[in-house]
A and B are shown apart, each in its own frame.
Chain A
Amino acid sequence: MLATLFHHPMPLGSQQLLWLLLPLCASLAIIYKTIRTTNLSRLPLEILALFGYILLGLLGVGVGLWLVTRCLA
């Protein structure tokens, strides 16, 4: 089972693609804040805040690009 898991590619549908962005953004927020924070007790809160900023930023870029395509169409 484990050998197959890391051997053969998984079939991913286009519906799932956007959701796969969330763990990647979470990883990025965790690593960035882990090396940048000066106070480890505030780390979970800082990670959550950065995760939110990243998602809002991506949402903004998405809306912006959608508007551009709407204007050009």
Chain B
Amino acid sequence: MTKKNAHFRLVALLAMALAWLIPGAGHLCVGRPVRAAIIFLTIGATFWAGMAMGGVMTVDSRNERWWYIAEMFTGVHGLAAWRLSEKVTSRLAAEANIPLSNPGGLDFGQQVIMDQKYDQAGLALVSPTDTIARAYAGVAGLMNLMCIFDALMLGMMGLRGEPRPAAAKETKP
């Protein structure tokens, strides 16, 4: 492996990690600041619009595993929302004397009690708000997955900055 290839690989991995952590940061890393700003604003706005609609239980790592995985692709946004939801869940579980550390998860009776607790606290996420809120937050994560992949590919190919007009004309679909 040449020194140049190793450098490209390092930039690509850095761009990928940054793109996950802060949406848009991967494109900033490969020298595309305008695209980075657009990605940062759009993904942040979409994710937090979902959170505004669904509230703190939009990110639910226990009962909505697939949505949770999609939401975690938003990096800091997903992590902040997850931290918020864990804090609330832990507080409500402590009030109901339900241990959350059980690896098998909650049994049916415990889940019913937790659902009642969410309802009493005004946090229960019900249809159709749950679908819309999680679609916004989850789609934001999946859109960032596209951006992560794009930043990785740009880094791997050693492409930095905006494409030159001539190159742009050649690669136009």
Given the known A-B contacts A6-B48, A12-B132, are A34 and B123 also in contact in the complex, defined by CB atoms under 8 Å? no
A12 in contact with B139 (CB, 8 Å): no
The B47-71 residues at the A interface (CB cut-off 8 A) are: 48-49, 51-57
Q: How far is the CB of A39 from chain B (nearest CB, A)?
A: 5
B143 in contact with A28 (CB, 8 Å): yes
Given the known A-B contacts A31-B43, A32-B146, A38-B172, are A12 and B129 also in contact in the complex, defined by CB atoms under 8 Å? yes
Which secondary structure dominates where chain B touches chain A? helix
Chain B residues bordering chain A, tally (CB within 8 A)? 45
Q: How far is the CB of B131 from chain A (nearest CB, A)?
A: 9
Which secondary structure dominates where chain A touches chain B? helix
Q: How far is the CA of A16 from the CA of B153 in the complex (A)?
A: 39
Please indicate the chain A residues that have their CB under 8 angstroms from the CB of B139 in the complex.
24, 27-28
How many of chain A's residues touch chain B, expressed as a range?
20 to 34
Q: How far is the CB of A27 from chain B (nearest CB, A)?
A: 4
B140 in contact with A5 (CB, 8 Å): no
B150 in contact with A35 (CB, 8 Å): yes
Chain A, Cβ-Cβ closest to B53: A10
* Interfacial residues, chain A to chain B (CB-CB below 8 A): 5-12, 14, 17, 20, 23-24, 27-28, 30-32, 34-35, 38-40
> What are 30 A-B residue pairs whose CB atoms fall within 8 Å in the complex?
A6-B48, A7-B55, A7-B123, A8-B55, A8-B56, A9-B55, A9-B133, A10-B53, A10-B54, A10-B55, A14-B128, A17-B128, A20-B132, A23-B46, A23-B49, A24-B46, A24-B135, A27-B139, A27-B140, A27-B143, A34-B38, A35-B35, A35-B146, A35-B147, A35-B150, A38-B168, A38-B171, A38-B172, A39-B165, A40-B34
